[in-house]
Structure formats: C-alpha cells, structure tokens
A and B are shown apart, each in its own frame.
Chain A
Amino acid sequence: MRVFMRFLSAGYALAIYGFIFLPVVVLVVFSLQSTAFPIPPFTGPSFRWYEAVLNDPRLTSALFNSLAVALISSLVAVALGFVSAWGFARFMLPGSGLMRGLITLPLTVSYLIIGMGLLVIFNMIGLPKNLLAAGIGHVVINLPLCFAIIYSQMGDHQINIERAARDLGATEWNVLWLVTLPIMWPAIFASLFLSMTFSWDEFVISFLLTRFDTTLPVEIWNLLRSGLNPKTNAVGSLVFAVSVVAAIILELILLRRRPA
C-alpha cells in the first residue's frame, strides 16, 4: 500500500511537472528552429532568430522602454508607499483605517479596468498616449502592493528603536536615514523587486496607454499578429532567461538573509 502510494505520488507529480514545463520547453526548443515556422519537425539548432531579435530596433528599444518604465515607476511606487506607510505606522491620524483602505483598494481591481479608467481621464485632460501615461498606470497598480508590504513590516519593535534614537537626540531626518531605512531595507527591496517584475510583465495598461514608443510585452503582442513565428519564440526565451536569472538572484539574497 505504501509503495503503491509513493508510486502514485511520483507519477502524479511528474505529470504536473510535465504539464507545467511543456509550453516553456516547446517555446525554447523552437526558438532554435532554422526554418520559418516554430512547429514540428525541429530543424535547428540555429541562432538566426536570436540574431533577428537583437537586430530588430523596435524590439530592442521596447526592451529599454520596459526597463526604464519598470525602474522609474517602481521607484516612485516604493517612495510613495514607504513614506505613507511610515506616516501611518508612526502617527495616529483620524480616519487612518479608511485612508489605508483607500490606498490598497486598487489591488482588487483588474488591470484592464484601471487602464481603461486612466485612458478615459487622460483623454479628458488631453494627455497624449505615451510611456509616461503607462508609467503612471504602473505606479497605480504597484503603490498598494509596496504600501501593504512595507506597512505590514513596521511593527512596535521598530517604533521603539526609533524612539530610542530620538531620545538620544537624533533629528527626524537622522532617524529616517540612520534607523528606519536600514531596518526596513528588506521590505523595501522586496517591494521594489516585486513592483519591477509586475511592471516589466504588464501588458494591458501599456497597450491602452501607449502609442508609438511602447513596452516589450506590447511589442511582443504586435509580433503575435503575424501568427506563429520563431522570432517570437526567441524574444520570449530571452525574457524567460532574464527573469529566471533575476529570480535566482532574489532567491540567493533571501537565502543568505534567512539565518539572521
């Protein structure tokens, strides 16, 4: 019975792993296709589609746009989230619960609806579709996340350390720079990393709010219009590789921090 159970478990787990990895393996394998269609039989390996991606100025500029939007919008979201979390955690404010609820509310709304709402008001005030508009949208989706993560990590323990610093004569500014920021660093880093991941991968808001200069997911979407294409495989595999490396780096940082 026990052996049978182990056997069944192993079989089931392998089947699920197979299901999870099937599309990724197919994506990467057929990015190495040497002919024009990413379908069997496999004709590679060849790197011609990777060359095609790197020589496509639309894709490379979309890559830089995506990086810039992810970095800048995440920094803004983390800054706004940190400063407001600090305010709410340190001071008793009337209506605090309500205001905190308001800041986290966008978490429950789909990106499509957030993007559409922004499109409506940007149309009204005459802000053209561009990367700035998309960046504003990315701050809207990431601010609640950054706020929630950082706020949840601001406990009484930290308040007491800050109070001690103040008693010892530190100014507000010194407390912030020398005490709060160093203590909160893990939460800040985690929210920055998560924000950048979400912004980097975000499609629908960028799709609605940009026109000519756009982000990588939108440019990949445009590639899809030409049907199945090994070039899409190649750019998809590159994005995957970058994300996996980022995930490994994060994992290593988290692992190193855990003993403390």
Chain B
Amino acid sequence: MNELSKIDRALPWMLVTPALLWTLLFFVAPFVAMALLSLNFQAEGGMTVSNYSQFFTNPSYYRAMINSLEVTGMVTLISVLLAYPFAWILAEQIPPRLQRLALLLAILPFWTSYVVRSYSWLLVLAQNGVVNDALLRTGLLTDPLQLANTRTATIIGFVHFFVMLLTLTIFASLKQLNPSYRKAAADLGAGPIRTFIHVVLPLTIPGVVVGAFLTFVLAIGDYITPQILGGNNELLMPQLIMMQIGRRGDFPLASALALILMAMVTIAYIACARWLKIERT
C-alpha cells in the first residue's frame, strides 16, 4: 500500500518532467549559451559587452534594426488597413452559407510553402516578370520597374502573407460580436456608419491588436522574405544575424544581435500587453 502511494505521488512528476526537461535542454540551455557567448564569457571570469557596444556604434549594424522596424511597421500598418475592410466584407456582405468557402479561398495560398510563396512574388516582380510585362505591353511604362531586390518587394511579400493571417483574426472577432449590440445601436437611432464607428470598430480593436502583434513578431523575425525579395541591398536584422553565422562564423556577435532582436519583440509585447490581456478574458 505504501509502495503504491509512493508511485501515486511520483506519477504527476513523471508526466510533466519529459516536456520540462526537453524545454530546459533544447530551449533554455541554448539561450544561456547564447547569452554567455554574446558577452564573450570566459571560464576564468572575464566578460565584455563589446558585441553589444559594436551594435550601437557601428552604423551598418544599428541601421539593420532601423530597417527592420521600418519595414515591419509598414507591413503591419498596410496589412491591417487592407485586411480589415476585406474581413468586414466577408463577415457582413457575403451570405452566411458562402462565408466559409469565401474565407477558405482567401487563405488558400497560405498552404503553399513559405519559401515558395516568396519565390512566386519574385516571379511576379522580376525585371521581365508578369507585372512589368503587363505594364510594358499596355504602354503604361517604357522602361521596366526595378521591383525585385527592393524594400518594396519585401513589403509586398510580407503584406501578402499577413493580409491572409489578419483577415482570419479580424473575421473571427467580427463574428464573435454579439448581434444585440448592433440592434441596440440601431434602436437608439444610429445609422450603419455611426454603428460601425462607435460600436463595431471599438469592439473589434482588441482582435486587431492581437493580429497586429502577431504580424509584428512574425515579420521582424523572418529571414526568408527579406532575403529572397529584398536581396542584399539593404539588410534587415535576421539577414544581419544569418550573415554573422554563415559568412563570418561570428557566433558571439550573432548571439548578441539575436538577443537584441528578442528584446525588441519583448518591448512590443509590453506595449500591446494591455490589449492582449483584454482578449484573453
């Protein structure tokens, strides 16, 4: 009997330990290793912040962070502005029995591989790609536009992905809206536009903020889209980090840059935390 209760007491720990151990070994330990590496930590006790000071003093390094913030900010803003009306149309203008199909269609390209999706935009935007071909053919342009390998291309590629993501999240928050609020507003004499501005929009803002936060976090950490579409003309943070790993093998600097990038995400989280919390309750 005593034996059995001992097993009973150990059982919960036996259940949760494997996952905890996995997280500690392959998530926490790498972080500690990166932090130590970024400080040039020596077993004898020496460490420096030279990798961090390098980031703040070398223009080509902090420029990458500014680029990242600019691109990510633009992407988040454009994606929200494009996705909100689209999600609204899907939720309000399309007959309910077609809504699921309309939404499924709207996120179908989500299912292409991420690398392939960026490559597809390269096809569209290339010097002799579809867009330039169409513009030249119709006579709207005499010389092809330089679209590939620019910041514009990076932003287009990102916006494409995040319009789909935000349409999903905004659609969900529009659908969760209690219809009686709208009826109440109408009973009190508000027209459709006033109802939207004073009732629907404020109530869906938390959902928008959650989506915008997701967009920010996923875009600022992404290496694929800027590398394929933006090229190496200007670097974003993930590209700068990869460059330290790949071409230069400078792991201490790469670790410092990665931790700085994480700090940016944490700041964004704190900025949105108020809204993110509202959403959870």
Q: Which residue from chain A places its CB closest to the CB of B109 in the assembled complex?
A: A24
Task: Give bound CA distance, A88 to B266, whole Å.
Answer: 27
Which size bracket describes the interface of B in this complex?
A: 35 or more
Please give, as numbers and ranges, the residues of chain B lying within 8 Å of A123 by CB-CB distance: 251
B121 at the interface (CB under 8 A from A): yes
Please give, as numbers and ranges, the residues of chain B lying within 8 Å of A137 by CB-CB distance: 26
Task: Give bound CA distance, A93 to B19, whole Å.
Answer: 15
Nearest CB in chain B: distance from A43 CB, A: 13
Task: Give bound CA distance, A114 to B19, whole Å.
Answer: 17
- With beta carbons under 8 angstroms apart, the residue of A23, A88, A102 that contacts B120 is A23
Q: Of the listed stretches A52-60, A185-193, A240-248, name the one at the interface; the rest are far from the partner chain.
A: A240-248
Task: Give bound CA distance, A109 to B262, whole Å.
Answer: 7
Query: Is B113 within 8 A of A108, CB to CB?
Result: no
Task: Give bound CA distance, A118 to B220, whole Å.
Answer: 20
Nearest CB in chain B: distance from A146 CB, A: 9
Which size bracket describes the interface of A in this complex?
A: 35 or more
The prevalent SS among residues of B at the interface is helix
Given known pairs A40-B130, A204-B223, A221-B115, the reply for A114 and B163 (CB within 8 Å) is no
B196-239: contact bitstring with A at CB < 8 Å (1 yes, 0 no)?
00000000000000000000011011111000100000000010
Q: Which A residues are closer than 8 A to B by beta carbons?
A: 6, 9-10, 12-13, 16-17, 19-24, 26-27, 30, 38-40, 80-81, 83-84, 86-88, 90-91, 93, 99, 102-103, 105-106, 108-114, 116-121, 123-124, 136-137, 139-140, 143, 147, 172, 200-201, 203-204, 208, 216-217, 220-221, 224, 228, 232-233, 235-236, 239-240, 243-244, 246-247, 251
Chain A to chain B contacts (Cβ below 8 Å), 7 pairs: A9-B89, A40-B130, A99-B20, A114-B27, A117-B33, A200-B113, A232-B119
Apart from A121-B30, A220-B116, what 16 extra A-B contacts exist at CB < 8 Å? A16-B86, A20-B164, A24-B109, A26-B120, A27-B119, A39-B123, A39-B129, A80-B18, A80-B22, A84-B15, A90-B12, A139-B26, A147-B19, A203-B114, A228-B126, A236-B113
